[in-house]
Amino acid sequence: MSSTEKLLAAENNWQTSMGRWFAGERVVIRGKDLFTELKDMRWMELMLFSITGRHFSENELKLLEGMWVLCTSYPDPRLWNNRVASLAGTVRSTPTLALSGANSLSEAEIYGRKPDVRTYDFLVRCQETLKSTDACLEDIIRQELKTHRVIPGYGRPIISKDERIKPMTELSIKLGVFDKPYIKLAHTIENALSEGRWRMKMNIAAFTAALALDLGLSRNEYLRYAALSFSSGLLSCYIDANDQALGTFLPIRCSKISYEGKNVRNW
């Protein structure tokens, strides 16, 4: 079918298996009635069902909720995406705009969603290489550094220790998901990096990507699941700045700005 034919076929006619609102009657999500079959789901469970079409066990849901709670709920406005929410609060913008702007900034190159999926890809690549070739882990690490100059999910700016690893480890052990293949691989990589000349420790991106892989989330499912995960911390920072005097979040006086451009101009 040509591009034109595809457009004509879709004109005023959207074919979907995701769901539909039947006005005044019911809502269907992936073939299930929201008001009868899905009515007892909690929000995280419903979101994951929408993303994957799968039902998760109670322990799996606790783990996936725990990843949001323990890993991304920091109410610190110094963090890059939280700062946007605070700026929105200090100028009295709306919470929706604050969350939209700050969440869009969460797909940063160094922090947030992009490192998450790069780490996911690396763990998959590493596992496949170990299974299909005679390469040892050290060889894979050297090649990764040669090609990409980093090992995704390992090392951390400012401080080498990631404070989230310990509580996530405790939660994973409690829920019985700490002995799965990818989480084992993530720790094996950390051991190789720690014992070698690289001196890098695992950060939370490797830990959570490994858990997502062990839960069977695809790359896109993992990215979609994580899309709103910073929201609690973002709202905290927005509220904090919104409750204080207008425009007082980290102001900078003009005399402290080193400006080398043109002088006063007419606009």
* pLDDT values of the chain reduced to their tens digit, one per residue, 267 residues: 789 999 999 999 989 999 999 999 999 999 999 999 999 999 999 999 999 999 999 999 999 999 999 999 999 999 999 999 999 999 999 999 999 999 999 988 888 899 999 999 999 999 999 999 988 999 999 999 999 889 999 998 888 899 999 999 999 999 999 999 999 999 999 999 987 678 899 999 999 999 999 999 999 999 999 999 999 999 999 999 999 999 999 999 988 999 888 888 887
Residue 135 neighbours by CB under 8 Å, 6+ apart: 129
Write phi, then psi, for 81 (nearest 5 degrees): -80, -35
Which pair of tokens denotes residue 233? 């911390």
Which pair of tokens denotes residue 210? 């490994």
pLDDT computed for residue 128 by the predictor? 95
Using DSSP bridges, classify how beta strands 19-22 and 32-33 pair: parallel, antiparallel or unpaired. unpaired
- CA dist 92 and 241 (Å) reads 9
Instruction: Give the DSSP H/E element, type plus range, for residue 20.
Output: strand 19-22
pTM over 0.85: yes
Helix 165-174 with 58-71: angle, nearest 10 deg: 170
33: β partners: 28
185 touches 124 (CB < 8 A): no
pLDDT computed for residue 235 by the predictor? 98
Q: b/e per residue, 38-67, with b = 16+ CB within 10 A? A: beebeeebbbbbebbeeebeeebbbbbbbb
- As annotated, the residues of the chain forming the CATH 1.10.230.10 domain(s) are 113-225
240 touches 86 (CB < 8 A): yes
pLDDT computed for residue 122 by the predictor? 97
**Class of 113-225 per CATH?**
mainly alpha
pLDDT computed for residue 196 by the predictor? 66
Give residue for tokens 């799965």: 180
pLDDT computed for residue 94 by the predictor? 98
